[in-house]
């Protein structure tokens, strides 16, 4: 997988407002927030899209969601937050390093646009 802006954040080549880091993942505030709370959780392993994940990534994917839960609790939004994964340009993926969006702090409609 080619280098992305997110691998540069992992490698501290560019700054980010990091809210969580462990051996498997990093979470930081989105630079262009779409809600009062907008945080991205990314694996350190370079997986381009969720569709590119394989069987060996099973526990890693679960870890990303458990970290998202932890962050939602820390942010005080555990009762109302949305997790989004965009897969592919056709649905708006713009950075090809897997990321889970945590969005909260405003009203959300369903279905999403
Ligand atoms: P997606 O459209 O699902 O690929 O989401 C990519 C997200 O990354 C967007 O919400 C961007 O605002 C966000 N983003 C891009 N560059 C940065 C950056 N340097 N720091 C934080 N968030 C970023």
pTM of the model: 0.98
For 12-35, write each residue's pLDDT tens digit: 999 999 999 999 999 999 999 999
- The preferred substitution site among 3, 5, 29, 64 for testing ligand 1, maximizing ligand atoms within 8 Å of CB, is 5
Query: Can you identify the CATH homologous superfamily of domain 5-104?
Result: HIT-like (3.30.428.10)
**If you measure from the C-alpha of residue 32 to the centroid of ligand 1, how many angstroms do you get, rounded to a whole number?**
7
Q: Is 93 in the pocket of ligand 1 (CB under 6 A)?
A: yes
- Residue spans of the domains in the chain: they are 5-104
Lowest-confidence region among 2-6, 34-38, 43-47: 2-6
Q: Which two tokens stand for residue 37?
A: 């709370």
Q: How far is CA 59 from the centre of its chain?
A: 16
**If you measure from the C-alpha of residue 79 to the centroid of ligand 1, how many angstroms do you get, rounded to a whole number?**
24
Tell me the CA distances in angstroms from 113 to 91, 94, 105, 108, one per residue in order: 10, 16, 18, 10
Residue carrying the six token digits 């694996």: 43
Contact at 8 Å (CB) between 5 and 43?
A: no
Please enumerate in sequence order all residues whose Cβ is within 8 A of that of 12, keeping only pairs 6 or more positions apart, or say none: none
């Amino acid at each position: 997988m080619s280098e992305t802006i997110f691998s540069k954040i992992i490698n501290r080549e560019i700054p980010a407002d990091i809210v969580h880091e462990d051996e498997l993942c990093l979470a930081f505030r989105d630079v262009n927030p779409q809600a009062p709370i907008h945080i991205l959780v990314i694996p350190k392993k370079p997986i381009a899209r969720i569709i590119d994940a394989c069987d060996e990534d099973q526990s890693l994917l679960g870890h990303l969601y458990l970290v998202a839960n932890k962050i939602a609790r820390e942010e005080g939004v555990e009762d109302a937050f949305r997790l989004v994964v965009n897969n592919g340009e056709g649905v708006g993926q713009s950075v090809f390093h897997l990321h889970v969006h945590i969005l909260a702090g405003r009203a959300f409609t369903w279905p999403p646009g």
